[in-house]
Amino acid sequence: MVPFSILDLAPVAEGSTPANAFQNSLAMARHAESLGYKRFWLAEHHNNPGIASAATAVVIAHVAAGTQTIRVGSGGVMLPNHAPLVIAEQFGTLASLYPDRIDLGLGRAPGTDMFTARALRRDLATNADQFPTDVQELQFYFEPVQPGQKIRAIPGAGLQVPIWLLGSSLYSAQVAAMLGLPFAFASHFAPELMMQAIQIYRERFKPSSKLDKPYVMLCANVIAADSEREAKRLFTSLQQAVVMLQRGTPGKWPAPIDDIETFWSPAEKAGADRFLTYAFIGTTDTIQAGIGEFIEATGMDELMITTHVYEQEARLRSLEIAAHVRDRLSLAVSK
């Protein structure tokens, strides 16, 4: 009975604007809520024309205000870009506005290139090494105020906002295990270390006041359609975006093309295929087979899907098919 959730980047499609992207993300979150998805997370990225969720807490507020029950959060906020107190105040504000609906997923990467990271005023030599300490400081700000405590998050203190650690390597798996926090792995773009990260997290997990046993959420690319041909056509937008990123020329979300082979070189194709190892593309039956095997092989506790499709209606339809797959898999487990 694995719940499904959604990761969104507020993608900016060719010919559109960030304003359009925010409207589409809200519509997507509302649709996901009606379909019974558990969470809707947004990710912090910078200096990428195709991603509008840089001010992640602001976009979370936009989505939470337009929905009723679905949990909304960050997948994630890149903690080295910010002072822990600032994040505590932002998410304390969100948790005060939308009680029991806000998640705080934390990442260690800058979410951008090194030039932009410096523009964000990060100390590139030391901040990443301070990640475990910064996580603990952030946790402290959400605890009840202690006698004599001089620095408080207002709002934030005492709100116990749920914290997740996100990772695409082994490092965050170790920190999540050490601190007894839930762990989300970015298998949608970093597949090679996924199984090793899960193993390390589970073997080294120390129960905490927040979590008594390991909880693993994995992310996968899912693009579903009413025909295999249409799903593969929609997938070419993501394939192009990955290659553009690898070329160092990220842009707005590209329209699908009929022949992806004319777009990339053999080396670029191989790189994109590795990047997209966990991409489930096709009709209901195809998606169900792939996701079912993925769940069985990993023993995950929750699946987070990304559905970055150029056409909004196709994206909403993909969510419907994925929800149907979830229900079919749940029914099979219950039997």
Measure the CA dihedral 60/235/116/192, to 10°: 100
pLDDT score of 111: 59
What distance in Å separates the CA atoms of residue 30 and residue 22, rounded to the nearest whole number? 12
pTM, two decimals, is: 0.94
The answer to whether 234 and 223 have CB atoms below 8 angstroms apart is: yes
Residue written as token pair 């339809």? 317
Which residues, at least 6 apart from 185, have a Cβ–Cβ distance to it below 8 Å?
166, 167, 168, 173, 194, 197, 198, 216, 217, 218, 219
- Average pLDDT, integer, range 82-90: 95
- Residue 154: alpha-carbon gap to chain centroid: 27
Instruction: Assign 240 a pLDDT band (cuts: 50, 70, 90).
Output: very high
Which residues, at least 6 apart from 88, have a Cβ–Cβ distance to it below 8 Å?
138, 141, 142, 153, 156
Task: Give the DSSP per-residue string, 139-184.
Answer: HHHTSPPPTT-----TTTTT----EEEEESSSHHHHHHHHHT--EE
Task: For the chain, give the percent of residues with pLDDT over 90.
Answer: 87
Mean pLDDT (the chain, rounded): 94
pLDDT score of 22: 98
Measure the CA dihedral 141/142/147/149, to 10°: 10
Q: Note if the bond before 92 is cis, omega within 30 degrees.
A: no
- Digit-coded pLDDT (tens) for 296-305: 999 999 999 9
First-residue to last-residue Cα distance in the chain? 11
- Average pLDDT, integer, range 312-327: 97
pLDDT score of 122: 57
pLDDT score of 1: 85
Residue written as token pair 């997740």? 164
All domains in the chain, ordered by first residue: 4-334 (3.20.20.30)
How many residues belong to the chain? 335
The answer to whether 294 and 220 have CB atoms below 8 angstroms apart is: yes
Q: Is the C-alpha dihedral spanning 109, 113, 118, 123 positive or negative?
A: positive
- Digit-coded pLDDT (tens) for 91-135: 999 999 999 999 999 998 765 667 676 777 656 555 657 889 999
- Average pLDDT, integer, range 259-268: 95
pLDDT score of 332: 78
pLDDT score of 239: 97
pLDDT score of 333: 73
What distance in Å separates the CA atoms of residue 4 and residue 60, rounded to the nearest whole number? 19
What distance in Å separates the CA atoms of residue 123 and residue 181, rounded to the nearest whole number? 26
The DSSP letter of residue 226 is S
- Digit-coded pLDDT (tens) for 162-218: 999 999 999 999 999 999 999 999 999 999 999 999 999 999 999 999 999 999 999
